[in-house]
Structure 1
Amino acid sequence: MAFRSVFDGGALRTEFESAGISPHFVPLIWKYVLHNPGCDLSDVPSLPSAAYPLLISKFRPLTSFLSSALDSNDRLTTKLLIRLQNGNSVEAVIMRYDTRQGKYDGKPRSGGPRSTLCVSSQVGCKMGCKFCATGTMGFKNNLSSGEIVEQLVHASRITHIRNVVFMGMGEPLNNYAALVEAIQIMTGFPFQLSPKKITVSTVGIIHAINKLPIDLPTVNLAVSLHAPDQDIRCQIMPAARAFPLGKLMDALQTYQKNTQQKVFVEYIMLDGVNDHEQHAHQLGKLLVTFKVVVNLIPFNPIGNSSCFRTSSEENVRTFQKVLRGVYNIRTTIRQEMGQDISGACGQLVVNLAEQRSAGGASILKDIEDLHI
């Protein structure tokens, strides 16, 4: 029999309400499970007596377990391999930053150490982006809201998590209901993450982007654009055929008007494909009316069969110079972390046959740094 996670908030509240139990007990259960690894649900104190048989018969404190936690050589990145109840696995990645390093506007930066967690929303992915290892897996299944939140639970037992980015395995907006519920749990008690410290990345699922201002109005949106025109997008991102660039940009204009928030644009730099100076001008013209931050991402090889190469540092710098100097678009170059543990952007893939890690999750410059 498959049990539900207690972090499947909607299911747990529905069961409680059907049994005449107040749903206000739900966050108290979450707090106990979060702070008591290995607990049994019968151990949760101060619940109505009717709650215990219901919890024990239908739910588990966690339905996943941490198979391994692999640290990078510099110990700034930890890759988590998490085994799910159905036997599949996903990866999550902890990235540690010290915001006091470097300067902003020529002045010392404030702040201190903080950790960002990159989470997965699906096992595999339907999008099939040719530069991403996850696409080689195909699509296996959606994660429940509880399975998404459990990645945060596992990570929180290693370090305090301040930011969460949905940039791991899967297309988050293709698992929309679970995504929304998971974020609502993460921003409520006991996790209490700020919505402004949560970022959802998408290849551009237009109908879901249109719903975000209502369901998640203050969460950050990152769009995996990766090309300045529809033809190139379709070549490297087959799913782009369903989301024409013109309609996507219209949706982003509406999104920005409704939320008054900047949009983060992700752009993977592929040698000879989308990294020429003319592409930078095309991208600049496409985005010049938006309030955006463009993040240029070095391509990370995904095996010997890859037909792509990493753009030269010169091309990346020229691309950035055009966007900044000609179009006044804030543009960063992604800081890669965890490459020695295959924890860099686009390398995430789990060998389901052997249940071992062979990849990593998307790693980015700390999202808070891009808000300044």
Structure 2
Amino acid sequence: MAPSRVLSPQSVWDLPAVLAAFRERGIKERHVYKIWSMLLKNPDVAWSDIPDLPKAAAALLEQQFSRCTSTVLRCQQSTGGDTTKLLIQLQDGMQVEAVVMHYDTSDRYTGREEAAGWGNKRSTLCVSSQVGCQMGCTFCATGTMGLKGNLCCGEIVEQLVHATRVTPIRNIVFMGMGEPLSNYEAVKAAVGMMGEPRLFGIGCRHITVSTVGVIPRIKQMAADLPGVSLALSLHAPTQELRRTIVPSARAYPLAKLMDAVAEYQAASQQRVFVEYVVLAGVNDGPEQAHELGQLLQGRDMVINLIPWNPVYQPDGPFFAAPAEGSVEGFQRILRSSYGLHCTIRQEKGQDISGACGQLVIQHAQQAGGCSSEAAGSSSSTGGLKDIEELVAAAPAAAR
């Protein structure tokens, strides 16, 4: 159970909270979109200056809601300019991270008829859904922090609001701090706002929700979030190995998890993206590659191999990065022996602690607010190969 958090004032970007307040006062819901649309154009607009907004609505907003409940504490740009990391402070002083990854694939798909239109300049935003995480993945900085609290819908959407002031955003991935499906209702509401044509207009195929495997919610996603992509953080091909590095596997066994994913795919008719962090001497050998191939063979999936790359480990390393060539060898086995589509993630933001949880931990330690144990591990979600590239790279017949 996540620790309780109550915002006062609440975020005007919190769809459930605003709608509930409007209904209680008898204010028509259609006025909500005027507010959000105006705020995107003029963040400092006075409530009373929003055209055609009822006085009762303006008074309610003044009493109970804030234009933005979070602030950007730090904005860091990577040396190559391909990653921007936002350290965001919430109303209660806790911190989360959002990462903007900039891509230029203008020349990558030249001459490929099936990928026409994919190459361009674009930005992907990686958002957080919780402060910390209860899943405890041993290689992940956020997982070692424990769960501090869930973000409300508004706090998730505010990450996008902050990011749009850096650059236009085309893709959203829920791969930052936290387990999105453990904060399901807030994530569902936030996805709805992100995709709303009158607001941000990010198409559902450009939104990806990642999970370590919350089985009941995976089954709900097909109905609740149609068109939104599912990414499964797998990291091991067997239940025995997965339990050692992904503790939540005890509650969500691999066999049942794969059944849930199959049920989701049958209902949604969508490909699933599999994330696999490669840890030297743990899950990167030929044996594990064959086991993974056998597990996933025949399924409509794209495997994204993520070479583990330590960024901030004052007491580590607890894991080691894979040896040169081992990830490519792992990929060859999956491709040649099992016919699986498999990519290797492009790393971004290493020089600015691009992996989720790293900047929060570093900032907290400098302020004396985070244990050294929490700083000991790293995740590689900061170097995302974005959803558009994964789709464009897949064979046309598989799409």
Say whether the 8 Å CA contact 1:132–1:347 is kept in structure 2.
Answer: no
Corresponding position of 2:165? 157
Say whether the 8 Å CA contact 2:100–2:125 is kept in structure 1.
Answer: yes
Q: Name the amino acid aligned to 2:78.
A: S
Q: How far apart, CA to CA, are the structure 2 residues paired with 1:66 and 1:347? A: 16
Corresponding position of 2:61? 55
SS in 1 for 2:325: helix
Q: How far apart, CA to CA, are the structure 2 residues paired with 1:235 and 1:58? A: 46
Q: Does 1:37 align with 2:43?
A: yes
Q: How far apart, CA to CA, are the structure 1 residues paired with 2:359 and 2:219? A: 28
> Quick check: 264-273 or 109-118, which moved more?
109-118
After TM superposition, list the pairs within 5 Å mapping 1:71-86 onto structure 2: 71-86=77-92
What TM-score do the two structures reach when normalised by structure 1?
0.95
Q: How far apart, CA to CA, are the structure 2 residues paired with 1:271 and 1:347? A: 21
Query: How far is 1:244 from its partner?
Result: 0.3
Deviation sequence 1:14-50 (CA, Å, 0-9, x none): 1112212110111110111122133343332320111
Deviation sequence 1:123-158 (CA, Å, 0-9, x none): 000011110011221110000000000000000011
CA-atom RMSD in angstroms: 2.1
Specify which of 286, 290, 300 is matched with residue 299 of structure 2. Answer: 290
User: Identical aligned pairs, as a percentage?
Assistant: 52
After TM superposition, list the pairs within 5 Å mapping 1:260-279 onto structure 2: 260-279=269-288
Q: How far apart, CA to CA, are the structure 2 residues paired with 1:203 and 1:348? A: 22
Structure 1 portions without partners, runs of 5+: none
Specify which of 114, 119, 122 is matched with residue 130 of structure 2. Answer: 122
Structure 2 portions without partners, runs of 5+: 1-6, 393-399
Specify which of 145, 155, 164 is matched with residue 147 of structure 1. Answer: 155
How many residue pairs get matched?
372
Q: How far apart, CA to CA, are the structure 1 residues paired with 2:369 and 2:48? A: 33
> Quick check: 355-364 or 222-231, which moved more?
355-364
Q: How far apart, CA to CA, are the structure 2 residues paired with 1:341 and 1:160? A: 21
CA distance 1:346–1:271, shift in 2 (3 Å): farther
What TM-score do the two structures reach when normalised by structure 2?
0.89
Corresponding position of 1:370? 390
Q: How far apart, CA to CA, are the structure 2 residues paired with 1:259 and 1:226? A: 24
Say whether the 8 Å CA contact 2:95–2:360 is kept in structure 1.
Answer: no
Query: How far is 1:105 from its partner?
Result: 7.1
SS in 1 for 2:293: helix
Say whether the 8 Å CA contact 1:88–1:352 is kept in structure 2.
Answer: no
Say whether the 8 Å CA contact 1:300–1:347 is kept in structure 2.
Answer: no
Runs of at least 4 residues off by over 6 Å: 104-109, 355-360
Say whether the 8 Å CA contact 1:167–1:201 is kept in structure 2.
Answer: yes
Say whether the 8 Å CA contact 1:300–1:346 is kept in structure 2.
Answer: no
Corresponding position of 2:247? 238
Q: How far apart, CA to CA, are the structure 1 residues paired with 2:125 and 2:340? A: 27
Say whether the 8 Å CA contact 2:280–2:319 is kept in structure 1.
Answer: yes
CA distance 1:114–1:356, shift in 2 (3 Å): farther
